[in-house]
Amino acid sequence: MSRTSLFTLLLPLFLVPRGIPQTEKAPPGKAGKAWEKLPGIRKDALRFWVESLAAPGMNGREAGTPGFDAAADFVRKRLRKWGLASPPGVKDFFQPIPLLYLKLGKPLRFLVDGKPLKLFDDFVPRQDSGDGKVSGRAVYVGLGFASRDLGVDFLKGKDLKGKIAVIDRDAWKGLRSRYYRLPLKKRQALRNKLFRRGAILKGLAERGAVGAVSFRSTPPHYSPRSGRFRTGSVDRKGRLAFFEGVQIAQAVPPSIPGMEVTHRVGRNLVGRMVEIEVHLFRQARKTFNIMGVFPGGNPKGRTLVLGAHLDGRGTILVDGKPLTLPGANNNASGCAVLLEVARVLSLRKPKLRNNILFVFFSAREKYLAGSRTFVSRPPYPLSRFLGMVNLEGVARGLEEARGGLVVEYPPGKEEMAGLFRKAAFLAGLSCIFHARAPSFGADHWSFHDRRIPFLFLHGDLSEAEFNPCAAPPLDYGLLLKAARAVYHLTLTMGRLASKDSGREK
């Protein structure tokens, strides 16, 4: 054999990435889950995690339902089995999140000058509405609050005693830029004081108002096909929607009755007699973030968060018929990567300086309630966080990434993105990188809001499950590469010294 031929045969051995566990073959004669004892990222393991979390018995894993609870228990048992620890202040791997099941009651009435209007065509109850029957003269109150930081007082000179307050949501358009120019701490204080669900109605009730009506000129549209809507959204025919089902718990107890009306009705209410009757059925429920930590050896070390949302949309209406979305790609695939990285870490037991915190978020589909709860009650100080890696829909590639994944990171925060470029190269993962600030729609937003660096790894997030027969199959080869890249990034950031791991200014 010539030297050239020998070199060609041996070259692949030298190109195997160091630090990334490769897929081992199961011992001959052993079937089933023989991979559980093998310390390498494995495709059959990833397939097992995805199929387990997307199984029919999970019923789409909607937060606050038995299906999600079953998935959460499945994850917790694995974390406990692998010897991961429950983080400080977190009992048995579960961080509770309060939820609320809300449903329309009867009667529901809205009258203007004695003339009844139609439910859904003209009005729906506000989700933060109190129960009861009230009447009074309508008074315009703008956004319904006063704020020195924003330089506005919509209630100045308003006599609200015994009146119905008319809230104009369009007034926010003139304040949006002013709000985002405020320092972070002031924005957080405003959110806690004014923008919690029920806070506006409570403030109006303290001024003597007996009820409230809100409207906007361009309400968001919803699609029964996707299930993406909230109360006050409108369909193509202009009919209002009321979201019945599990949602985030109301921070402020219900006070006065409130209605959401169409712009056509709301703009003509001031000065007229309005009568409101609202009855809503409420039931408290709970869900949980599931988290486990692989502790670093340095007591003064920092913490890297690996996160993926475990919850799905459950059952929605598609063309008028109920359809349970298994959530295999979105987001059993992201959770599978976390489980596999945790399994391999527990077997290999690498010596790391920093903590690796695995977080399976709940209630991502409920206005990010899970990640927002996490950053408001973190198990470690937020100032000690290295960063957050969020995975979502990583088993279907995108054409723009040559069949691979998109990696988003905050502008000016290049350090984590640079480390992941190397990890992706070693894993053979095709990626395209975008520096962009996140929109309110994925769990890394909650971390970005607290100025924690993030990486958002995602593939094709289109709603392929709406037509399961036509949905492309999951790409487990892509999922394997993504898991290897995340594992390599975990080792790299877990070994960073304190002088290397300072948060970028």
- pLDDT computed for residue 234 by the predictor: 66
- Confidence (pLDDT) at 228: 47
Confidence of residue 9 (pLDDT cuts 50, 70, 90): very low
Whether 503 is covered by a domain: the verdict is no
CATH of the domain at 453: 3.40.630.10
**Of the candidate ranges 4-18, 93-107, 316-330, 431-445, the one whose mean pLDDT is the lowest:** 4-18
Nearest CA to 462 out of 330, 345, 334, 367 is that of 330
Q: Is residue 129 part of a domain?
A: yes
CA–CA separation, 479 and 51 (whole Å): 13
Please identify, among 278, 298, 319, the residue that sits at the C-terminal boundary of a domain.
278
Higher-pLDDT residue of 101 and 228 is: 101
Q: CA 215 to CA 117: how far, in whole Å?
A: 15
202 phi, psi to nearest 5 deg: -65, -40
Output the pLDDT for position 257.
96
Contact 64, 286 (CB under 8 A): yes
Q: Check residue 467 and give its pLDDT.
A: 59
The confidence score (pLDDT) of residue 184 equals 79
Q: For residues 408 and 188, give the distance between their C-alpha atoms in angstroms, rounded to a whole number.
A: 24
Answer whether 0.85 is exceeded by the pTM.
no
DSSP notation for 18-85: TTS---PPPPTT--SSGGGG--S--HHHHHHHHHHHTSGGGGGGBTTSHHHHHHHHHHHHHHHHTTPB
User: Does residue 465 sit in the same domain as residue 380?
Assistant: yes
| Bigger pLDDT: 357 vs 198 | 357
Domain with 356 in it: 34-100+285-494
Chain mean pLDDT for the chain: 86
pLDDT for the residue 325: 86
Structure confidence at residue 235 (pLDDT): 64
Asked if 274 and 291 sit in the same domain, the reply is no
In a 10 Å sphere around its CB, with 0-12 CB exposed, 13-18 middle and 19+ buried, how is residue 144 labelled? buried
Is residue 196 predicted with pLDDT exceeding 70?
Answer: yes
On the question of pLDDT at 227 being above 70, the answer is no
User: Which is more confident, 20 or 249?
Assistant: 249
State residue 23's pLDDT score: 44
The reply to whether 122 and 265 lie within a common domain is: yes
| Boundary residue ending a domain (254, 278, 302) | 278
Indicate the pairing of strand 94-104 with strand 280-294. Answer: antiparallel
271 and 354 in a single domain? The answer is no
Same structural domain, 317 and 392? yes
Amino acid 31: pLDDT: 42
The reported pLDDT for the residue numbered 464 is 59
Q: Report the candidate in 164, 134, 102, 132 with the shortest Cα–Cα distance to residue 279.
A: 132
Q: Which of the four pLDDT bands, split at 50, 70 and 90, describes residue 251?
A: confident
Same domain, 230 and 289: no
How many domains does the chain fold into? 2
pLDDT band with cut points at 50, 70 and 90 for residue 490:
very high
- The per-residue pLDDT for 269 is 95
* Residue where a domain terminates, one of 236, 251, 278: 278
More confident residue, 4 or 468: 468
Q: In this structure, how many other beta carbons lie within 10 angstroms of the beta carbon of residue 96? A: 14
Tokens matching residue 240: 């209002």
- For 1-19, what is the mean pLDDT? 44
Instruction: Tell me: do 270 and 294 sit in the same domain.
Output: no
Residue 491 has pLDDT above 80, yes or no: yes
